Amino acid sequence: MPKIKSTLSVAATASLSLTDPPAPANAEAAESARPGYTAMWVGITCEFVEFAVFFVVYFVARWSYPEVFRAGAPRLWTLGGLLITLVMLTSGYLLVRTVLAVRRDDQRAARVWMTGAFIVSLGYPLLKWLEIQWNPAHGVIAGNNAFFTVYYYLTINHFMHSAWGILGMAWVLLRVWQGAYRPGNLKGVESMAIYWHATDIVWLMLFSLFYAFV
């Protein structure tokens, strides 16, 4: 009887404990070997959920107003969309090279690649500004119809996400020039790259929904 009491007491203590049971050592090692902070993966999951909802809005609007969408798409600045895509892909590639350079502790290469990634990423706000100038002259005005409303809502939302990414890149650039990232201490630069690549994936979707509309 005392043995049963003791077992129940241990079980109750374990179930009411506020702290997680200690994870096995190999699980911790596996977690630390993964790229970036877990918090950043959670963050991009939230970004994906947000844009998944926007995609639902896009397709409901497109299926409801097919003619409006068909007439609106050719009026967008396709070259601008193409150039933004190339800017996103190229700055993402340069971030990959930055991470690889930090992993092999090549600080000089990391500084060069990271500077390149930041400079190329600035092409996005520049192109977006040019697009905003171009749009009204071609009748691309938010209130005109469902297509333009959805186009502005989704692309400006994406631009806001990218603006956060560019600010983050400025911080990581500073830290790279300070030599703050080393093999074994590169979660910061990896997390920055993860955020930018996730934003890149979202843009690839937007490009196919608006600029490469068929």
Which residues contact other proteins (rule: CB under 8 A)?
A: 31, 33-35, 38, 41, 44-45, 48, 51-52, 55, 59, 62-63, 66, 70, 73-74, 78, 81-82, 85-86, 89-90, 92-93, 95-97, 100, 193-194, 197-198, 200-201, 204-205, 207-209, 211-214
Q: Smallest gap, in angstroms, from Cβ of residue 58 to other proteins?
A: 8
Please state, in angstroms and rounded to a whole number, the distance separating the CA atoms of residues 204 and 198. 10
Residue with tokens 């970004």: 47
Nearer to other proteins, 66 or 179 (CB): 66
- Taking the CA atoms of residue 141, residue 156, residue 85 and residue 135 in that order, the dihedral angle to the nearest 10 degrees is 20
Please state, in angstroms and rounded to a whole number, the distance separating the CA atoms of residues 180 and 102. 10
Nearer to other proteins, 34 or 182 (CB): 34
Nearer to other proteins, 9 or 62 (CB): 62
Closest CA to 114 of 38, 33, 168: 168
What angle separates helix 123-137 from helix 78-103, to the nearest 10 degrees?
170
Please state, in angstroms and rounded to a whole number, the distance separating the CA atoms of residues 64 and 67. 9
Q: Smallest gap, in angstroms, from Cβ of residue 104 to other proteins?
A: 14
Nearer to other proteins, 4 or 42 (CB): 42
Q: Which helix (H) or strand (E) holds 164?
A: helix 146-177
Q: Smallest gap, in angstroms, from Cβ of residue 81 to other proteins?
A: 7
Q: Smallest gap, in angstroms, from Cβ of residue 137 to other proteins?
A: 19
Nearer to other proteins, 173 or 198 (CB): 198
Q: Smallest gap, in angstroms, from Cβ of residue 13 to other proteins?
A: 29
Q: What share of the chain is helix, strand, coil (3-state, %, to 5)?
A: 80, 0, 20
